[in-house]
Amino acid sequence: MRLVGYHDLQARTAYQPTIMQQGSRWIAYIGHHGDNKINPQSGQMEHNGTSIIDVTNPKKPQLLKHLPGEEGKAEQGGAQMVRICPGATLPKADKNKFYMLRVFGNQAHEMWDVTQPENPILITTIVKGLKGTHKNFWECDTGIAYLVSGNPQWRTNRMTQVYDLSDPAKPVFIRDFGLVGQQPGAGGPTPIAVHGPISTGPKGNRVYFGYGTNTEGILQIVDRDKLINGPKDPTPENLLYPQVSRLDLPPMHGAHTTFPMLNMDFPQFKSNLLGNRGDIMVVTDEAIQKECLEGRQMIWFVDITTETKPFGVSQWAKPDMPGNWCKKGGRHGSHSSNENMTDVFYKKLMFFAYFNAGVRVLDVRDPFAPKEVAYYVPAMNQNTVVLATPASMANGTKLPYTKAAETKAIQTNNVEVDERGYVYIVDRANTGMHILELAGDARKIANWQAAVK
């Protein structure tokens, strides 16, 4: 891979990049974790929120606006998640406008008019008074949104609230949803929190939910029509009604991102009468602890051709050696994949944020034998910081950190691609945003005829 362009993001810790073509311009919307930094444009200290950047010329990205978020540090503030939809595709929206769905820290979900991205206008607060938010999904063709929320009445800080946002100014609540045991009034242990869904819309009629980060991961396949139109009172029976199947990962692995690759050819089995084509789910864990003081978080390829019987067929992880990556500082392991299904890369190449190992690129044309074909590890700069180290695991177990835990390191946090074929990575340790492109043999795998010129 090679570097095309860079922006420092005002030294803000970054989470989700989303890129949208707006007329003749390409705009990157970057969600930030919580912190408080000076905005040179305004000369004021501002709580981290959303950075809006013109990337029409990827060699010279230009900051248009920083929109402040919630007060707080890391995942306790900011505005980490952002999605964009054009009004031209939303059924009840102004066809000439663009809309931004973002979280406001852990408190709320907001809707903004970003038709003029340098002048965003708040339209409405969809829901507030929450105790958690995270990785939302918004169907731009129907307006249905799956909002990762923390309804205070529920037993988990992250469940799903389904809304109809086809008219961005008039949100319509559809239902609350989660795993049995998370609902109000349930007893016993509370299942792991949701991290985020991906929907195939009405045509595919599936929503794929990932639960967990670095432990107790769950892949849940849900019938979209039953989820939206079925019984909505959160009883155990109603929560199970739309579920097609559920796959529990091994205890030391999570399911941060669930990315479907449907109707794939399986080249290893092309001569077989059966099993030469099918559906694959790519499940990405999230590394949490520094120095690899947890199970190795990695990438799993799950065959979901028979949806009621999903099973793993392969996995990929960057080894610790050579390089002693676990001691290089920060987290080492997977976090998330790209989510844009642009024809340039879909079912050919996938991009994975890998913390101190930068971004890793896998050839996924044979999901039974994925292989790495490219990578990019950015250089640290004057803005790079040492991430705070948790004192212990969630269960209170004290971890044997060494001095390596206080070493500065790149922490590539999330990755996304656009329809032109550019790759965007953002850094959790304040290093900024890097815009990349493929080079060499890896570039030849992509479908450049599908790229937007």
**What tokens were used for 213?**
């980060």
Predicted pLDDT at 395: 67
Read off the pLDDT band of 390 (50, 70, 90). low
How large is the average pLDDT for residues 194-204?
A: 96
Predicted model pTM: 0.97
Taking only the tens place, the pLDDT of each residue in 344-381 is 999 999 999 999 999 999 999 999 999 999 999 999 99
Predicted pLDDT at 391: 62
User: Which residues share a beta bridge with 197?
Assistant: 209
Read off the pLDDT band of 399 (50, 70, 90). confident
2-450 under CATH 2.130.10.10, yes or no: yes
Residue 227 has pLDDT above 70, yes or no: yes
Predicted pLDDT at 368: 97
CA gap 256, 426 in Å, rounded: 17
Taking only the tens place, the pLDDT of each residue in 119-173 is 999 999 999 999 999 999 999 999 999 999 999 999 999 999 999 999 999 999 9
Residue 451 has pLDDT above 90, yes or no: yes
